[in-house]
Structure 1
C-alpha cells in the first residue's frame, strides 16, 4: 500500500517553504553604503575604501571608479555594509586598477582588497607602494569615521588632502 499526498497539503507545504526562504532578503542585515572619494578636490579613481568595524560588524570595502564613486561590499558584490560605526581607510597603490563594477574585479583585485581588509602583509619584496598620504591607510590614523543607519542607505564623501 502506498501513501498519497493530496494536492492541497502539498501546495500548502510548498507555499510555507517559499515564505520561509524569503524574497531575496539579506541575511547579514546590510544596508546600501557607498559614496565618493576625492584627493585634493579631484575624484580619486582606483582607491580602495575600507569600512573598519568598531562594534563587531564585518568589514566592508569598495574600489572607486573614474568619478571617485564606490559601493561597499561585505560578502557579495554590492551587498553594502552592516549598520554601525566604522573607521574608514583609503589606499591606492601602483597596482590598483579601476574595474567598471565590483563584479568585474579580477581574482587579484579581490585578493588585494581581502589582504587590506585583514591587514595581512604581502610577501617580502612585493609590498605595494601606497600613492596616498600614510595617515589614510590605517584605522588608527585615518581622520574618517562613518555611522551607517539601521535602514536606508549611507552615502559618504571622503576628501583626502
Structure 2
C-alpha cells in the first residue's frame, strides 16, 4: 500500500512542477504587405527572426504581397525586435501538389513554376544586409509593410 501512495505522491508532484513552470508568452499579431517598387510581391518568402528569443518564423506572400504569421499556439509572434528577410523562394501552399512528370520527361528535369518568381535583390535575403526590422508589441500592432527598392 505504501508503494502506491509513494507513486501517487510522485505523480502529483511531477504534475504540479510541470504545470506551474509554464508561462504564456505575450504575443502580437504580425501581418502586412511587401511590395517591390510599389508593386505587390507575390510568392516570395518573408522571415522574421529574433535570436535572443530563439524565434525564426517564415511564411509565403500571397498574390497581393500580403502575409500573416500564424502558429500552432496563436496568431502572431512573441513580443520583441525582429530582423526581417525576404527572398524569392517559396513554400508549397495547402492544397498544392508536387508536379507530376509525363511520359518522355527527362530524368532530373524540373517542371516550370506556376508563376515566374520576381527578381528580388540579394541584399534582402540576408539578415546582415536586408536593413529590414520590426518591433512586435504584445497586443495590437500596425501592419508591417515593406517596400523594397531594386
Name the TM-score class by shorter chain: 0.5 to 0.7
Question: Are the structure 2 counterparts of residues 54 and 97 from structure 1 closer, same or farther at C-alpha, using a change threshold of 3 Å?
Answer: closer
Task: Note the residue ranges of structure 2 that are not aligned, 5 or more in a row.
Answer: 1-18, 99-116
2:46 matched to 1:58?
no
| Counterpart residue number, 1:135 | 123
Residues 66 and 98 in structure 1, CA contact (< 8 A), matched pair in contact too: no
**CA shift for structure 1 position 61:** 2.0
Aligned counterparts of 2:52 and 2:95: Cα–Cα separation in 1: 29
1:155 aligns with 2:146: no
Aligned runs of 1:30-109 on 2, under 5 Å? 30-73=27-70, 75-76=71-72, 79-93=75-89, 96=90, 99=93, 104=94
Higher helix share: 1
Number of residues of Structure 1 aligned to a counterpart in Structure 2: 111
Per the alignment, do residues 41 and 68 of structure 1 end up closer, same or farther by CA in structure 2, a change over 3 Å counting? same
Secondary structure of the equivalent of 2:123? Answer: helix
**Residues 40 and 65, structure 2, Cα contact 8 Å, conserved in 1:** yes
Task: Tell me the secondary structure at the aligned position of residue 67 of structure 2.
Answer: strand
Q: Please give the root-mean-square deviation of Cα atoms over the aligned residues, in Å.
A: 3.2
Distance 1:57 1:137, change over 3 A: same
Deviation of the 1:30 alpha carbon = 2.6
Gaps of 5+ in 1: 1-19, 21-25, 109-128
Name the larger-Rg structure.
2
Larger RCO of the pair (alpha carbons < 8 Å, separation 6+): 2
Counterparts of 1:80 and 1:42, CA distance in 2: 25
Query: Quick one: structure 1 residues 78 and 56, their matched pair in 2 at CA, closer, same or farther if it must change by over 3 Å?
Result: closer
